[in-house]
Amino acid sequence: MKTTAKILVVEDELSIQTIVRTYLESAGFGVTIVDNGPEALTQARLLQPDLVLLDLNLPGMDGMEVAARLREESSVYILMLSARGEEADRVAGLRIGADDFLTKPFSPRELVARVEAVLRRRRETAVSPTTLYTFQQLAINPDSHEAIAAGQPLDLTATEFQVLLELAKNAGRVLTRDQLLALVWGSDYYGNDRVVDVYVGQVRRKLQDATGLLLIETVRGIGYKFVDVKR
Ligand code: CA
């Protein structure tokens, strides 16, 4: 059974609206377009989209603020569009909780590939059998997307959850940046592996806030290792 994924596009440039609609609709997605932040927040509540394609440069409320507000109320996937392509914007966007970043000008085919990759991640998680990963400080339920640290639910974005899950599945072993990139973002990810450092840093900080412990170690020059003890 195939259900149509809903995509909310937040973009004020007409030419890009047209291209994005054409390509996403012909790839089988349901597309709703708005051209400003406040309307994006309203439509996100009404539509409950599977993914928000969010332009960074919007009149009035900018994309960063829209992303931050969306994150306050949902874990919807956010793919950010930026004309600037600056590393600083990218990292700031990811910190706020964007799941991926695409720089303008982009090829419409790449856009469709990125959207499909992000949504595939979610499907793969949804069909995995129920296996709980439990440690002294942490318990993870992949089906319900819940992570409990020191007895409290961790507030993680969808991508942060995936990062933690992969590290925990491989507890005690080092995962390289490339391995994490392939596991979480997919082997067809085009971006920079800096994204891994940003996400691992966020997950590590949230775990540390909850438990007071450093549960993700950096293995210099190689990658990261989850070090809590299995129960
Ligand atoms: Ca714009």
How does pLDDT run across 100-134, given as a tens digit for each residue? 888 888 899 999 999 998 888 766 555 545 678 88
- With 0.85 as the threshold, say if the pTM is over it: no
Task: Provide the pLDDT for residue 1.
Answer: 41
Span from the CA of 185 to the centroid of ligand 1 (angstroms): 26
Ion ligand 1, residue ranges at CB < 5 A: 12, 55, 57
**What is the Å distance from ligand 1's center to 138 Cα?**
41
Residues 68, 55: Cα–Cα separation, whole Å: 13
100: closest CA among 67, 125, 127? 67
CA of 29 to the centre of ligand 1 (A): 22
Spatial separation of the C-alpha atoms in residues 190 and 168, rounded to whole Å: 25
Alpha helices in 97-143 (DSSP H): 108-127
| Alpha carbon of 1 to ligand 1 centroid (Å) | 36
Instruction: Report how far ligand 1's centroid is from the alpha carbon of 86 (Å).
Output: 15
Which domains can be identified in the chain, with CATH numbers? Answer: 6-126 (3.40.50.2300), 133-226 (1.10.10.10)
Token output for 132: 């709980």
pLDDT score at 128: 46
| Whole-number Å distance between alpha carbons of 100 and 120 | 14
Distance 9 CA to ligand 1 centre (A): 11
Per-residue pLDDT of the chain (231 residues), as tens digits, is 456 899 999 999 999 999 999 999 999 999 999 999 999 999 999 999 999 999 998 988 989 999 999 988 888 899 999 876 567 777 777 777 788 888 888 899 999 999 998 888 766 555 545 678 889 999 998 877 889 998 888 999 889 999 999 999 999 999 999 999 989 988 777 677 788 999 999 999 999 999 999 999 999 989 999 999 887
CA-CA distance, 145 to 162, in Å (whole number)? 9
Ligand 1 geometric centre to CA of 170 (Å):
41
Two tokens, residue 185: 């973002």
Q: Return the structure tokens found at 88.
A: 């600083």
Ligand 1 mean position, distance from CA 201 (Å): 29
User: In this structure, is the dihedral angle defined by the CA atoms of residues 69, 75, 81 and 82, taken in order, positive or negative?
Assistant: positive
Question: How many whole angstroms from 83 Cα to the centroid of ligand 1?
Answer: 8
